[in-house]
Amino acid sequence: MHRPRPVLYLTMALAGLAAVTGFAGLADLLPATVILWLLLVQAVAVAVSGVYLQSVVTPLSDPRDDDGRRLRPSGAGRIDGQ
């Protein structure tokens, strides 16, 4: 069964972009305006991915279903011995 991993994929993409913009020799390879545009794209990508992941990933502190009802373990309503 394939399990979606949005956090992993977005983290890999942002890490790749950070590696490109953080490269020490980048100023010798690209004009300053291109570097500034890459940094702007990186900042926007981080902000957008944060908002997107907030709506996709289930928080562990208070998990809820799509209708807003609290999730609980399947055996939470049973008493031992029954």
Closest CA to 14 of 34, 31, 39: 39
Question: For residue 46, what are the domain limits?
Answer: 31-56
Give the model's pLDDT for residue 27.
79
User: Positive or negative, the Cα torsion across 23, 24, 25, 29?
Assistant: positive
- Strands in the chain per DSSP E: none
The answer to whether residue 51 is domain-embedded is yes
Helix 6-22, helix 32-56: angle, nearest 10 = 160
The answer to whether residue 73 is domain-embedded is no
The answer to whether residue 69 is domain-embedded is no
Range with lowest mean pLDDT among 14-23, 36-45, 48-57, 67-76 = 67-76
Please state the pTM of the whole predicted model: 0.60
The answer to whether residue 43 is domain-embedded is yes
The answer to whether residue 66 is domain-embedded is no
The answer to whether residue 75 is domain-embedded is no
